[in-house]
Amino acid sequence: MAGEFFRTWKLHRNFLACKCSRKCVKGFDELKMVTILDGKALAEKLCNSYKKKVEKAGLKIKLAVVLVGDNPASEIYVQNKKKRCMDVGIGCEIRRFKKEISEEMLISEIDALNSDKEIDALMVQMPLPKHINPRNILEAVDTRKDVEGLSTYHMGRLSLGNEDVVPCTPKGVIRLLDEYGIGLAGKDVCIIGYSDIVGKPLATLCLNREATVTVCHVKTKDLGKHTRDADIIMTATGVPKLIKKEMIKQGCIIIDIGIKKLRENVVGDADFESIKGRCSHITPVPGGIGPMTIAMLVENMVEAAERKLKQTE
Cα separation, 250 vs 151, in Å, equals 38
Strand 265-267 to strand 260-262: parallel, antiparallel, or no bridges (unpaired)? antiparallel
Q: Does 193 bind ligand NAD (CB under 6 A)?
A: yes
The helix/strand/coil state of 308 is helix
- The residue from 192, 213, 255, 302 that contacts ligand NAD (CB under 6 A) is 192
Q: Does 242 bind ligand NAD (CB under 6 A)?
A: yes
Residues 6 or more apart in contact with residue 19 via CB below 8 angstroms: none
User: Which CB atom, from 242 or from 279, has the smaller least distance to ligand NAD?
Assistant: 242
Q: Does 290 bind ligand NAD (CB under 6 A)?
A: yes
User: Which CB atom, from 27 or from 287, has the smaller least distance to ligand NAD?
Assistant: 287
Establish whether the linkage from the previous residue to 286 is cis, with ω within 30° of 0. yes
CB under 6 A: which stretch of 51-59, 98-106, 132-140, 194-202 binds ligand NAD?
194-202
Q: Does 258 bind ligand NAD (CB under 6 A)?
A: yes
CB under 6 A: which stretch of 15-23, 30-38, 174-182, 213-221 binds ligand NAD?
213-221
CB under 6 A: which stretch of 22-30, 190-198, 273-281, 295-303 binds ligand NAD?
190-198
The helix/strand/coil state of 61 is coil
Give kind and range of the element (H or E) at residue 192: strand 188-192
Q: Does 236 bind ligand NAD (CB under 6 A)?
A: yes
Are 251 and 279 contacting, i.e. CB atoms less than 8 angstroms apart? Answer: yes
Q: Does 237 bind ligand NAD (CB under 6 A)?
A: yes
Nearest CA-CA partner of 205 in 168, 237, 164, 174: 174
Establish whether the linkage from the previous residue to 134 is cis, with ω within 30° of 0. no
Q: How many residues bind ligand NAD (CB under 6 A)?
A: 25
Q: Does 158 bind ligand NAD (CB under 6 A)?
A: no
Question: Please, where are the H alpha helices in the chain?
Answer: 2-17, 21-33, 39-57, 72-88, 103-114, 134-140, 152-159, 168-179, 199-208, 223-227, 272-275, 289-312
Q: Does 259 bind ligand NAD (CB under 6 A)?
A: yes
Q: Does 206 bind ligand NAD (CB under 6 A)?
A: no
Q: Does 195 bind ligand NAD (CB under 6 A)?
A: yes
Output the smallest distance, CB 288 to ligand NAD, in A.
Answer: 7
User: Which CB atom, from 184 or from 191, has the smaller least distance to ligand NAD?
Assistant: 191
Stretch 162-181 residues interacting with ligand NAD (CB under 6 A): 169
The dihedrals phi and psi of 251, each to the nearest 5 degrees, come to: 85, 5
The dihedrals phi and psi of 146, each to the nearest 5 degrees, come to: -75, 90
Q: Does 282 bind ligand NAD (CB under 6 A)?
A: no
Cα separation, 33 vs 25, in Å, equals 12
Q: Does 260 bind ligand NAD (CB under 6 A)?
A: yes
User: Which residues does the annotation mark as catalytic?
Assistant: 74, 81, 125
Is residue 238 exposed (0-12), middle (13-18) or buried (19+ Cβ within 10 Å)?
middle
Q: Does 132 bind ligand NAD (CB under 6 A)?
A: no
Output the smallest distance, CB 245 to ligand NAD, in A.
Answer: 17
- For binding to ligand NAD (CB under 6 A), which residues are involved? 169, 192-195, 197-199, 216-218, 220, 223, 236-239, 242, 257-260, 289-290, 293
